[in-house]
């Protein structure tokens, strides 16, 4: 469970009876698993990304074994691993960096002496046979306090907590320069793998990642380098560029200065990578924009540079191309001064809503590749009708038209997103989405009253469909012929949404070849309570298996709680062949990771696993396609991913109607790779799979 950034100032949240307050520690989030064993308990430390950190912090493992000695039940603790100063007080994450990637036993032993750590636990998720995640935070905290009452040490600590009034803790945070506080709803349940508004970050300093683009020579007694030049990406498409954000000259130690100088010198270039290089010192030496550093700072100046920046450390888990400014762009720097807030490509918070609660602010984030005069006109007509609360007929490219109604109806009550927002999204994304559904029968799941209302499936196209909408007779697997909507044009796409069908659900085959599956899919569906990190782990296993078979797999979020892996099939492949291939891959993955995945069809027998579903590959069945909106409370969008993004802390909630256009401004149309690719050699893949199984 992760915290979200609170809106407004910390003072707005600091005195609420329903909240408890804890210091925001600057370390590594750790889940500590303890299992009884002989002669000593088994301890595993896992990071937020699921990486095993036990070997890098053996002194913490030893302390937890001593802590659990004599216990006869397993425990799962959530907390923060922090570095300590000479007085035993937590210090900056920078002090942990030297330990994170070290592997040699002797080096680890030396660093453990030089930079001691502590584990500050703030939650108890499992206590013996009891899964505590469904209990309120207050009840979990009581059991945690009871557990540590006589067992806490300098290394295994209980987080400080204040209930109902955090003013005193906030005063100390300001006095001692803490990063901030965490405010938690005392009644909240623990939501594994989810970033929840029940936990709020009350930050006292600004901090974000920046791209390192240069350095200056040292002066006085300092060695290696003087200051770092940092930047961030701004703009979209061809106008995307690196903007200079200032010079950072503090926050280093001798070791970090030496390591940074070597890394920067290896990337030295003659030409500045930023287009506003005149703002940097003339003696700046420039580098390729590949390294990312985390910087804390007081504020942005009116000139758009950082005030009082401090270097916190390199971020090897971040890609330079993803670094954008995380708050409102600076005034006085050209067009950026009037732009909307820019978010990371996998934004957690999304674009700002309009006063009526809709998605007006998202329009500024639409990539150039999805803009045209024709689509601008469609979007504007939809907006005018919605603002006037009128029904009407909109003109579409190619002399087509479409009647639309009730555009002001709220479909997502929590965010205030409307039916009009849905149609405008589909109009904007149509250049990328229409090829995905082209010539494919569509199945509708209609939500006439939005995501909180009743829904129903509809295969048959309405008898009164407008002339501009493509409707054709389709022979169903049962032999009956029914009229279906057929995807591939803007009128049909918008009509599908006009009917209240929020998602786009096409067949795996096209007209004229309805018994041939040109694509098949493996659907990863987590059981209730399974964290999304486990879904990512299972997806990695599927991807690695496909790689070993020489098969191309394409990854996307489902838009809801899972992930989809799509596999192009050879021409002429029947549905049975594609389903059999997916079944073998799914069975192989589940067999090698039974604690994580299953192919069990009976829901109650699946346990705490991810269901690896291959049964969608039947003629007439569908999955939500790439770029489809989903009818869930967070307005998710099925979003193509690169496989290496599984190593990032992505969640389904990262990709919503409010955030996806910002992401796509930097990624482009990833799903186009599914078209025109060499399809799978089924015979060779099955032979390899047989050898793996054997």
Tell me: pLDDT of 436 over 90. yes
CB 335 within 8 A of CB 217: no
Measured between alpha carbons, how far is residue 55 from residues 112, 268, 534 in Å? 11, 35, 22
- The domain segmentation of the chain, as residue ranges, is 206-338, 362-498
Q: Residue 5: name the closest of 350, 297, 358 by CA.
A: 350
Tell me: pLDDT of 334 over 60. no
Q: What is the pLDDT of residue 285?
A: 94
Percent of the chain scored above 90 by pLDDT? 56
Percent of the chain scored above 70 by pLDDT? 92
Q: Residue 629: name the closest of 510, 494, 531 by CA.
A: 494
Tell me: pLDDT of 359 over 80. no
Asked which of 223-227, 304-308, 523-527 is least confident by mean pLDDT, the reply is: 304-308
Q: What is the pLDDT of residue 327?
A: 64
- Copy the structure tokens of residue 33: 């698993």
Average pLDDT value for residue range 431-436: 97
Tell me: pLDDT of 442 over 80. yes
Q: How confident is the model at residue 38 (pLDDT cuts 50, 70, 90)?
A: confident
Q: How confident is the model at residue 347 (pLDDT cuts 50, 70, 90)?
A: very low
The more confident residue out of 106 and 669 is: 669
Average pLDDT value for residue range 342-356: 35
Tell me: pLDDT of 304 over 60. yes
Q: What is the pLDDT of residue 220?
A: 61
- Copy the structure tokens of residue 561: 């709680």
Q: What angle do CA 554, 556, 559 make, to 5 degrees?
A: 160
Tell me: pLDDT of 254 over 80. no
Q: What is the pLDDT of residue 681?
A: 78
Q: What is the pLDDT of residue 340?
A: 30
Average pLDDT value for residue range 589-605: 93
Asked which of 166-170, 452-456, 687-691 is least confident by mean pLDDT, the reply is: 687-691
Average pLDDT value for residue range 436-461: 95
CB 364 within 8 A of CB 342: no
- Copy the structure tokens of residue 493: 């796409």
Distance CA 33, CA 60 (A): 12
Average pLDDT value for residue range 500-516: 95
Q: What is the pLDDT of residue 197?
A: 87
Q: What is the pLDDT of residue 159?
A: 94
Q: What is the pLDDT of residue 208?
A: 86
Tell me: pLDDT of 37 over 90. no
Which residues make Cβ contacts (< 8 Å) with residue 309, sequence separation at least 6?
230, 246, 247, 248, 250, 251, 295, 296, 297
As a whole number, the mean pLDDT across the chain is 87
Would you list the DSSP string of 288-343?
-TT-EEEEEESEE-TTS-EES-EEEEE-TTS-GGG-B-SSPPPTTSGGGGGPPP--
Distance CA 313, CA 595 (A): 36
Q: What is the pLDDT of residue 358?
A: 60
Q: Residue 639: name the closest of 611, 659, 621, 610 by CA.
A: 659
Write the pLDDT tens digit of every residue in 185-243.
999 999 988 888 899 988 877 778 999 999 998 866 568 888 899 999 998 888 889 99
Q: How confident is the model at residue 666 (pLDDT cuts 50, 70, 90)?
A: confident
Q: Which CATH architecture has domain 206-338?
A: Beta Barrel (2.40)
Q: Residue 240: name the closest of 196, 282, 193, 273 by CA.
A: 273
3-state secondary structure 59-88: HHHHHHHHHHCCCCCCEEEEEEEEEECCCC
Q: What is the pLDDT of residue 565?
A: 98
Number of neighbouring beta carbons within 10 Å of residue 358: 22
- Copy the structure tokens of residue 363: 């329009």
Mean pLDDT: which of 105-119, 167-181, 304-318, 370-384 is highest? 370-384
Write the pLDDT tens digit of every residue in 123-160.
999 999 899 999 999 999 999 999 998 889 999 999 99
- Copy the structure tokens of residue 634: 């967070």
Write the pLDDT tens digit of every residue in 630-660.
999 999 999 999 998 998 878 999 999 988 9
Q: What is the pLDDT of residue 504?
A: 96
Tell me: pLDDT of 365 over 80. no
DSSP 527: P
The tally of CA atoms less than 13 A away on the side-chain side of residue 260 is 31
Distance CA 173, CA 158 (A): 18
CB 78 within 8 A of CB 123: yes
SS3 content of the chain, % helix, strand, coil (to 5): 30, 25, 45
Q: Residue 473: name the closest of 463, 153, 167 by CA.
A: 463
Tell me: pLDDT of 258 over 90. no
Give the residues across from 44 on adjacent strands: 33
Which residues make Cβ contacts (< 8 Å) with residue 432, sequence separation at least 6?
370, 627, 669, 671, 672
Strand, helix or coil for residue 584: helix
CB 463 within 8 A of CB 441: no
Would you list the DSSP string of 552-573?
--EEEE-SSSSEEEEEE--TT-
Distance CA 156, CA 77 (A): 11
């Amino acid at each position: 469970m992760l915290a979200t950034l609170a809106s407004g100032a910390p003072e707005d949240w600091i005195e609420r009876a329903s909240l408890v307050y804890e210091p925001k520690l600057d370390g590594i989030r750790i889940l500590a698993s303890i299992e009884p064993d002989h002669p000593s308990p088994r301890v595993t430390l896992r990071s937020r990304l699921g990486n095993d950190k036990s070997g890098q912090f053996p002194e913490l493992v030893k302390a937890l074994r001593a802590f659990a000695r004599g216990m006869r039940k397993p425990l799962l603790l959530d907390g923060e691993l922090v570095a300590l100063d000479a007085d035993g007080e937590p210090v900056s994450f920078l002090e942990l960096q030297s330990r994170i990637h070290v592997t040699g036993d002797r080096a680890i032993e030396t660093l453990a002496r030089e930079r001691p750590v502590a584990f500050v636990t703030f939650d108890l998720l499992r206590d013996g046979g009891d899964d505590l995640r469904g209990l309120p935070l207050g009840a979990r905290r009581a059991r945690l306090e009871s557990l540590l009452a006589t067992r806490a040490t300098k290394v295994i600590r209980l987080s400080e907590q204040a209930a109902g009034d955090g003013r005193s803790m906030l005063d100390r945070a300001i006095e001692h320069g803490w990063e901030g506080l965490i405010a938690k709803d005392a009644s909240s349940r623990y939501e594994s793998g989810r970033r929840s508004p029940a936990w709020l970050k009350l930050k006292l300093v600004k901090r974000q990642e920046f791209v390192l683009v240069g350095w200056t020579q040292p002066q006085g007694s300092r060695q290696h380098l003087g200051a770092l030049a940092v930047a961030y990406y701004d703009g979209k498409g061809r106008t995307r560029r690196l903007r200079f954000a200032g010079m950072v000259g503090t926050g280093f130690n001798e070791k970090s200065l030496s390591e940074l100088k070597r890394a920067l010198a290896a990337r030295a270039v003659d030409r500045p990578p930023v287009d506003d290089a005149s703002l940097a010192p003339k003696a700046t030496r420039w580098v390729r924009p590949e390294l990312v550093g985390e910087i804390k700072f007081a504020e942005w100046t009116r000139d758009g540079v950082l005030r009082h920046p401090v270097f916190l450390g390199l971020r090897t888990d971040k890609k330079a191309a993803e670094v954008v400014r995380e708050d409102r762009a600076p005034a006085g720097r050209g067009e950026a001064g009037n732009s909307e807030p820019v978010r990371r490509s996998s934004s957690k918070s999304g674009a700002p809503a309009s006063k009526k609660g809709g998605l007006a602010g998202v329009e500024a984030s639409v990539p150039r590749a999805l803009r045209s005069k024709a689509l601008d006109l469609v979007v504007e007509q939809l907006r005018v009708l919605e603002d006037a609360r009128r029904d009407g007929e909109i003109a579409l490219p190619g002399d087509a038209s479409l009647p639309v109604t009730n555009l002001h109806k709220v479909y997502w009550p929590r965010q205030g997103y409307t039916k009009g927002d849905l149609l405008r999204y589909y109009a904007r994304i149509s250049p990328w989405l229409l090829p995905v559904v082209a010539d494919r029968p569509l199945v509708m799941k209609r939500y006439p009253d939005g995501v909180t209302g009743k829904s129903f499936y509809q295969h048959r196209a309405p008898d009164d469909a407008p002339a501009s909408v493509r409707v054709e007779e389709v022979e169903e697997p049962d032999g009956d012929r029914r009229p279906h909507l057929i995807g591939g044009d803007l009128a049909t796409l918008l009509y599908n949404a006009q009917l209240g069908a929020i998602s786009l659900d096409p067949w795996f085959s096209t007209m004229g070849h309805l018994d041939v599956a040109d694509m098949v899919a493996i659907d990863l569906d987590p059981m209730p309570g399974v964290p999304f990190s486990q879904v990512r782990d299972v997806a990695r296993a599927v991807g690695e298996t496909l790689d070993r078979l020489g098969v191309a797999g394409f990854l996307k979020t489902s838009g809801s709680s899972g992930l989809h892996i799509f596999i192009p099939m050879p021409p002429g492949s029947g549905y049975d062949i594609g389903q059999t291939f997916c079944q073998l891959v799914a069975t192989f993955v589940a067999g090698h990771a039974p604690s994580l995945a299953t192919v069990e069809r009976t829901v109650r027998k699946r346990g705490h696993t991810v269901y690896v579903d291959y049964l969608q590959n039947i003629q007439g069945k569908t999955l939500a396609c790439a770029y489809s909106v989903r009818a869930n409370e967070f307005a998710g969008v099925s979003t193509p991913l690169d496989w290496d993004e599984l190593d990032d802390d992505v969640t389904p909630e990262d990709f919503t109607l409010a955030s996806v256009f910002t992401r796509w401004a930097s990624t482009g149309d990833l799903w186009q790779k599914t078209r025109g690719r060499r399809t799978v050699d089924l015979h060779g893949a099955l032979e390899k799979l047989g050898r793996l199984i054997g």
